[in-house]
Amino acid sequence: MRIAVVGSGYVGLVSGACFADFGHEVTCVDSNQEKIASLKAGVMPIYEPGLEQMVATNTKANRLVFTTDLAEAVSRAEAVFIAVGTPSRRGDGHADLSYVYAVAKEIAGNIQRFTVVVTKSTVPVGTGDEVERIIREENPAADIAVVSNPEFLREGAAIEDFKRPDRIVIGIEDERAREVMTEVYRPLYLNKAPLMFTARRTSELIKYAANAYLAMKITFINEMADLCEAVGSNVQDVAHGIGLDKRIGSKFLHAGPGYGGSCFPKDTLALVKTAQDYGSPLRLVETTVAVNDQRKRAMARKVARAIGTDVRGKTVALLGLTFKPNTDDIRESPAIAIIQGLQDGGAHVRAFDPEGMEAAKAYVSDVAFGGDAYEIANGADALVLVTEWDAFRALDFTRLKSLMKEALFVDLRNVYRREVVARHGFRYVSVGRPKEDITVALATAAE
């Protein structure tokens, strides 16, 4: 099948590469000439495990091509996927749909046959209606079916998610689109991927509802972590205890500095705004957004308290800048708020991240970036683990202690056990665990 994917960012590039890997003939379109030139040269604009090799393989096989010529790509395609960005709109928090609508206008004049136009971008309820209206207004003769097909890709595991999905949600209003979309995803049938056909507006809302629920789950366990610290409980045991209940499940119950990234922050906010516009406010989601924003800044205060009453002139070294491991995405990362909070208090900040340092330079200033954990720890008053990269899971604490001015380790992801770190002479601060774990106290008493 001939497919055009408009937008070669995270969603568009991963989707296009995976469709090509299925055997489809895919053209990825982007208006950014520099990006297209880089992709043709095999240089990826994002970091995603396995993506570079997949693009190279399918480009070599002529199943995947990159171009700035939207007209040609659309005129040949049986399905056109819109995969451009929908960032939060400045001023009101609504999703900015200007890129989606601009693409719809451009697509309209280049449709040559019956074409399924698929919105892959995350968009509010009713966007598909407007996309269809725009195309029909621009080209009344266009024979189209507009479909909603939201993505559910986790950064760092996007290829696995695309090829082995929990579900594929497809919102249609024209039955002719069912056959085309079934053919698009036919290669997944061997994996028994569940195709879920719904009304278009329902499909659009499923995406937002899923992200909002997961964001609430993260925020819930983070608030429980604060309570655990106050009463002397262990949030990891609490999470395990409730996660064993199959109605709840264990995923997204890991206490930390708050959620970030390109999806949860903007999607929860856009859902809140949509609900308010329709006179049906979502109080739980509104609170989730507010609590998560406050938590990121609170983590800077947590680090400051661990150091002392005044961080002015202190040097703090941060391990991790991206919002999660295995990506170079800095957007809405808790690390940004932590850095800003520490700098506001007068601290000097150093940082290292395996993939995110270059991107971080656009978000923070006056940060000393280092080549590894040990370089930034040299002479530091505190070492703070912000993002749980594998590279940070087996730190040499003996070496770190010899380098640091003060032996203080703040673990905002609960990667380590207190006794392991304390054995090397460090003060250890974590999230949602008592100052001295009961298990450690019992073990000490037994000795």
Q: Which residues are catalytic?
A: 263
Quickly list DSSP for 11-69: HHHHHHHHHHHHT-EEEEE-S-HHHHHHHHTT--SS--TTHHHHHHHHHHTTSEEEES-
3-state helix, strand, coil in the chain (%, to 5): 45, 15, 40
CA 250 to chain CA mean position, Å: 19
Amino acid found at 174: D
What is the Cα–Cα distance from 424 to 170, expressed in whole angstroms? 54
What is the Cα–Cα distance from 335 to 327, expressed in whole angstroms? 14
Contacts of 57 (CB under 8 A, 6+ apart): 21
Run of H or E residues at 235: helix 235-243
How far, CA to CA in Å, does 347 sit from each of 313, 369, 372, 406? 5, 15, 20, 14
Contacts of 406 (CB under 8 A, 6+ apart): 307, 380, 381, 382
Backbone Cα Rg of the chain: 24
Cβ atoms of 320 and 387 closer than 8 Å: yes
10 Å CB burial of residue 166 (0-12, 13-18, 19+) is: exposed
Quickly list DSSP for 326-367: S----TT-HHHHHHHHHHHTT-EEEEE-TTTHHHHTTT--SE
What is the Cα–Cα distance from 154 to 152, expressed in whole angstroms? 7
How far, CA to CA in Å, does 368 sit from each of 328, 339, 345, 403? 18, 11, 17, 17
10 Å CB burial of residue 430 (0-12, 13-18, 19+) is: buried
Tokens of 345: 């208090």
